[in-house]
Amino acid sequence: MLFAVSLLLLCTGISASADLQCTIIPGKLTQIDAGAGEVYGVNNNDDIFRWVNNDWQNIPGKLTHVSAGPAGVWGVNRANVIFKIQDNEWMSVSGLLKQVDSGGDKFLGGVNAEDSIFCLKQSCTVSRSSAVAWTPLDGGLKYYSCGPVGCWGVNKPNNIFFRHNVNPTACQGTQWQQVEGNLVMIEVGTDGSVYGVNSAGNVFRRDGISAKTPTGTSWTQLDLCATFKHVTYDSGYLWLLSPTGDIYRCADNK
C-alpha cells in the first residue's frame, strides 16, 4: 500500500481565510474528480484510478476525463467517446464530448471539441440504454460543472458563467449570468461548493452560495503557496493537481 505524506502549506497573504492542512498523495494524475463520496482520476497514459482505502485502485479501461457524482461515474476517452459505469463495467453511450460532469442531481453536463454545451436529463442518465438524447445549450464553454443549485462554466477567454434554473427534468436551464473573475477551470461539489483555478495557477473558492443567491457573493483566493492546474471538492476535502501532476488533498476549513 502507498502511504501519504503530510505537510502544512502556510502563507501570510491576506487572501486566505484559514491555513490548509494538506497531504501529498502518491502518484501522478492529469485530471481528478471527487463527488458523492468517491474520487476518480486519470493519468497521462489514460489509465483510470479510484481512491479506495487510502490507495489508488486501477480501474480497467482508458479515459482522458472522468467524473463521479449523483449521476454516477462517467468519462470520455481520447476519441471523445462517452462512457458510464453500468453493472460495474464501462458502457459507451451515444454522443461525443471532451469533458463530462456528473455532479448534478442525477443529470449530466458536458462540452464537446467545439465548446458546444450539452446536458442529459435524469431519465436518460438512469436508463440502461446506450442510446441517449443530449439536449444542446446555447453559448460555448470549454469546461462545465453542475451541482444542486445550478451549473457553472468557463469559456475560451476564461470568463465565468452560471446557468440558472437547471433541474433534473429541465437540465438545459433558462439563462446565463456572467460572474466576475477569470478562471481556466471550475468545479462544483456535491454540496454546491464551487472552486476554480485561474491561468496563474491560483485556487479560488466562491463564497455566499445559497438557494436565494445561487451565484454567491465573492471569490476567496486560497493561500496555498503553490500553483495548481486542477481542483475538485467533496466531503470536506479539496483534491488538487500541480502542473506536473502531483496530487494534494487538503482539508478546507471554510
Helix (H) or strand (E) holding 124: helix 122-125
Can you give the pLDDT at residue 8?
A: 42
Can you give the pLDDT at residue 63?
A: 98
Q: Class of 5-251 per CATH?
A: mainly beta
Can you give the pLDDT at residue 19?
A: 64
Can you give the pLDDT at residue 37?
A: 96
Helix (H) or strand (E) holding 122: helix 122-125
Q: CA triplet 129, 131, 137: central angle to 5 degrees?
A: 120
Can you give the pLDDT at residue 183?
A: 98
From the number of C-beta atoms within 10 Å of its C-beta (0-12, 13-18, 19+), residue 201 rates as middle
Per residue of the chain (254 residues), give pLDDT as tens.
Answer: 333 444 444 333 323 334 688 999 999 999 999 999 999 999 999 999 999 999 999 999 999 999 999 999 999 999 999 999 999 999 999 999 999 999 999 999 999 999 999 999 998 888 888 899 999 999 999 999 999 989 999 999 999 999 999 999 899 999 999 999 999 999 999 999 999 999 999 999 999 999 899 999 999 999 898 999 999 999 999 999 999 999 999 987 66
Strand boundaries in 87-208, DSSP class E: 89-96, 99-101, 108-111, 117-120, 135-137, 143-147, 150-154, 159-164, 175-182, 185-188, 194-197, 203-207
- What is the domain partition of the chain in residue ranges? 5-251
Q: Are 79 and 86 in contact (CB under 8 A)?
A: no
CA nearest to 160, candidates 184, 136, 139: 184
